[in-house]
Amino acid sequence: MPLLQHTPPTLHPSGWALLAVLPPWADRLPAASQDILRFCLARTFPLVEKTRDGQWVLDVSSEVDSRFGGTGNDLRIEPEYLLPVPGFCPTFEVAVASDLDVSPTPLWERVATFEGVNDELGPWLKMSTTPGASNRLDEGVPLGKPLFRSWLLLGGVLPVEYDDLCLSRLESGRCFLETSSMWTQLAWVHERTLDPVGPGAARTRLIDRLRFTPRWSHLGLPSRLLVGRVFAHRHARLRARFGGEPASIPT
């Protein structure tokens, strides 16, 4: 089963590609290399060549060199993790953080379930599940493979968006990294982290970082505004439930 639910990619030297899914071997890389790979998710880069072992070389120097150091940085990625695009596609980012009056373990028990997700989205939106799917995000989830198509329902009824849900990284009790595609987004990256804060780690800083590449360029700014408002609403719901206040985003 292919990792991406679209027709097989047609990649060629001098073309462009988007890194759509975090490869399963990413966790075996040194920490600095993992940071670079996650930074490149949902971003588009020019293709240089195809290697003898079937990987494609992406020139990531324009984005990576100044941020991480070095010169002429590139990535070598298998084609099933890439999505061909006609040229450079703009990427948009949103980040929201809250310090919540609950320790990480009970908070994770809530936010790592579809029930918890839909409580955050409510009462305006709801994510559908598929029959037989676990309510939990951290039980029996195959990483790097599509799980199912979840519909985003306005008022719990009207489909307005879908999410071909895929988790690329999961640390139970600590974080998850979603790398999906949507009807309006070529790539959708959602990283949620839970870190203990305060005396005795009695509180939790929950951070949502979103990065997405719209299928149509004119959706870029409206998407950023809408995503920002949705996640501001989700954090407001979490603070109402557990207590807490907005937090600054670490650089």
User: Tens digit of pLDDT for each residue in 45-96?
Assistant: 999 999 999 999 999 999 999 999 999 999 999 999 999 998 889 999 999 9
Q: Cα–Cα distance between 153 and 139 in angstroms, integer?
A: 24
What integer pLDDT is reported at residue 2 of this predicted model?
40
What integer pLDDT is reported at residue 193 of this predicted model?
96
Tell the residue number behind the tokens 């951290």, with chain if given.
Answer: 138
What integer pLDDT is reported at residue 132 of this predicted model?
72
User: Which of the residues in the chain have pLDDT under 50?
Assistant: 1-8
Q: Between the CA of residue 152 and those of 50, 125, 149, what are the distances in Å?
A: 38, 7, 10
Q: Is the pTM of this model over 0.85?
A: yes
- Helix, strand, coil percentages, rounded to 5, for the chain: 30, 40, 35
What integer pLDDT is reported at residue 198 of this predicted model?
82
Task: Dump strand ranges (E) for 111-234.
Answer: 125-127, 146-154, 158-171, 175-182, 185-197, 203-214
